[in-house]
Structure 1
Amino acid sequence: MVGSRFGMSLAWVVLVGVVGICLFANMSGRVAAVSGRATFEIIRERLGPRAGLANLGASFFINLMTMAAEIGGIALVLQLVTGIGPLLWMPLAAFAVWIVVWRAKFSQLENATGLLGLSLIVFAVAVVMLGPDWGALTHQALVPTVPQSENPVSYWYYAVALFGAAMTPYEVFFFSSGAIEEGWGRRDLGQARVNVLVGFPLGGLLSLAIAASATIVLLPQAIEVTSLSQVVLPVVQAGGTVAFCFLVVGMLAAFFGAALETTLSSGYTIAQYFGWSWGKFRRPAKAARFHLVMILGLIVAVAVLMTGVDPVAVTEYSVVFSAVALPLTYIPILIISNDPDYMGSDVNSPAVNGAALVYLVIIVVAALAAIPLMILSGAGA
């Protein structure tokens, strides 16, 4: 958690990332709703098989890393509650994800995990209960500086990682594929925009609350977060057992929901590129290869975790590589959203294109800087 090391000085990255993912998701959702075509189906057709395959390979790799990180997160939360090591919980968590993906309806997946995930608002409640110096927190956020104890290279490494976390490609794959799952059309563009402008900013506010709680409790004691048990300390200090229970429910829902989304995204990307039958709206027997890809993805994710790799480290690397791969999905969506052959009169407006081009520069700079910053900072050490 960057708040335990940098305070609120990276809050600006969360804001930049939230605006970026809103812009990106809105374009991809609009493309899906207007054209009725899946993301990777269009990418393959628009860019050609070779460029599309390179895009697919990078996106699927990042998605697989993220899937492993989320399953590891579920296991760590269960370890926190039961005291039983995560290696036992990892295959059980993956099995639970598969059962829910196999049996539950798409709307049930979204609604259940989304509502339970709201329990994470306990972080915001904890910040208020801790009674911080609001002026100091606000000053750190509005006038960001690198703490004297930190290396500027590490600061920028974590800035790129936070940006990658805010704009992970799987969120866009899931959102745009969900538009087709739910049968969106032009009439649904307004609702889609509301979903984007409510859901992603709410996630950003929760990220700021988590950072603020760490800034208040962990930063003054020089406690650097290396385990999930340290993440919960500010909430437990503020609200005790009751707050801890809310936090556990919220974290389980958040990790489980993200694992569902990444699992579905793995099936979406492969099936869409190769033109296979796909989607929760189809019976498994009618989309067998789509479901097989998801099962194999879960098996690979668990196999990686069972080597003993730290799920926290997998999470960190996955968001950094998300930043590296982001241009591969952002650029095609930007091109297609301006193509009247696909979009008709619903191409990007001049204002959207202006903002999209600004973000194109930011995304390319972040992608080019990510690996050098990782090497120079020793992965933020």
Structure 2
Amino acid sequence: MKGVLNLTLGVMTAIGGFVDIGNIVTGGVTGARFGMTLAWAVVLATAIMVLYGEMTGRVAAVAQRATFDLVRERLGVRFAMVNLVANLLLALLTLAAEIGGVALVLQLVTGVQYLIWVPVVGAVVWLSIWRLPFKVIETAFGLLGLCLLVFAVALVALPTDWGELWHEMIHPAVPQGEALPTWLFYAISLVGACIVPYQVIFFSSGGREERWSIRNLREARGNAFVGFPLGGLLSLSVMAVMVPVLRPDSVDVKHLGQVALPVAQALGVIGLILTFISFFACTFAAAAESALSCGYSVGQYLGWSWGKWHRPSSAPRFHVVSLAAVIIATGFVLTTIDPITVTIVSVVLGAAAVPLTYLPVLVVANDREYMGEYVNKHWQNGLATIALLVMLVVSVATLPLLFATKAGQ
């Protein structure tokens, strides 16, 4: 049991990074609109996240330094500053999307307008990251997020054409009536939803919160090899369950409630309750992750005391940055901008900024001064280089596709 609980950091990172509001929405939209023809994007992103997640955990365990700490020292102050600004802006946008997502879940449950819930959610997110121990946060929300398995159960219960699903997965093609640029835009959205940059910062910093060392390498790798593939499978389940229910009627998914409809149809009230619990756990976990990532990145860059293992009085600036991030994100959502729109834009821009974060991880993982015998193997560097080239292509294509398709319209 202890070994299972030791994997909850990877599970929480997967739940809050892979299957947050971004992946729930994009999975629902793409499944209802394109079937499983974009499943390859989730598989690709999952493989990239496993590869770079393992490197990130290994750096945290062997060098006993968080990735952003090493980025500043080994790659220079200016490069790190560019990386810091990009990550902060994206983390804030993601945090706004997640706070809006939690509020939307509460609106679905209570019927109370989501804007009323937004400041409440912001306050609870802050209180959680301020008062709750790191282990409590990762364990509670990591395990609650597993309620997303209800999507896989619903898929089995529904009249699913498994042959058609499999055919679309292994023979991806633009569906009839859809344009190639729009199809590619949503492919990028899925990639961006799975490998959001703040995941690297959170996973690395979380390893330091748990005091990983060389003795914990197996645990670090277990988190990467179990948590991230689990997130990928859950994402595919969300996508797949849309196909037998929403796709035949060409339903255009516009809000979170529509994503829950297939589960409600298959499993009734119990399924709906579990769906709402999973939505809440995923979005709240991602909100906590992105808020903490703001404090982690700034604290590591400026050399402050950081981390939840410090009391707030011992690391006040770290907590102030996290609080400021929550306040800014909450205020942004209160402008009444559509949280779903924020979500789509955040995952797409996240895809554009991914190389800024993942390149330093690759560089540090090859630094023998810090990693010693635990530097990357040749095959790891080969795969990581191919993955980085894919991310560069995605990064270059993101903005043109965003404007050309009017954000997937």
TM-score, normalised by the number of residues in structure 2: 0.92
Output the amino acid matched with 1:271: G
**Secondary structure of 2:295 counterpart:** helix
Q: Which residue of 1 aligns with 2:370?
A: 342
Matches within 5 A, 1:283-322: 283-322=311-350
Distance 1:259 1:153 in 2: 31
2:234 is aligned with 1:206: yes
Distance 2:299 2:240 in 1: 41
Query: What is the RMSD computed on CA atoms of the aligned residues?
Result: 0.8
**Secondary structure of 2:228 counterpart:** helix
2:275 is aligned with 1:254: no
1:96-147 CA distance string (max 9 Å, x none): 1111111111111100001111111111111111021110111011111111
Q: Which residue of 2 aligns with 1:60?
A: 88
Q: Which residue of 2 aligns with 1:182?
A: 210
Q: Percent same amino acid among aligned pairs?
A: 49
Distance 1:233 1:67 in 2: 26
Give, in angstroms, the shift of residue 171 of structure 1.
1.2
Q: Which structure 2 segments of 5+ residues have no match? A: 1-28
Give, in angstroms, the shift of residue 378 of structure 1.
1.1
Moved over 3 A (4+): none
2:173 is aligned with 1:145: yes
Output the amino acid matched with 1:367: S
Output the amino acid matched with 1:211: M
Q: Which structure 1 segments of 5+ residues have no match? A: none
Output the amino acid matched with 2:318: F
Distance 1:209 1:247 in 2: 13
Give, in angstroms, the shift of residue 148 of structure 1.
1.3
Distance 1:86 1:36 in 2: 42
Q: Which residue of 1 aligns with 2:107?
A: 79
1:57-103 CA distance string (max 9 Å, x none): 00111111111111111000000011111101111011111111111
Distance 1:333 1:205 in 2: 25
Aligned pair partner of 2:51 in 17, 23, 26:
23
2:34 is aligned with 1:6: yes
Matches within 5 A, 1:217-232: 217-232=245-260
TM-score, normalised by the number of residues in structure 1: 0.99
1:214-269 CA distance string (max 9 Å, x none): 11111110101000111111011111111001111111111111111111111000
Does the CA contact (< 8 Å) of 2:61 and 2:220 recur in 1? no
- The aligned length equals 381
Aligned pair partner of 1:41 in 48, 51, 69:
69
Distance 1:220 1:300 in 2: 41
Q: Which residue of 2 aligns with 1:359?
A: 387
Distance 2:126 2:388 in 1: 36
Give, in angstroms, the shift of residue 178 of structure 1.
0.8
Q: Which residue of 2 aligns with 1:94?
A: 122
Output the amino acid matched with 1:335: V
Distance 1:261 1:8 in 2: 29
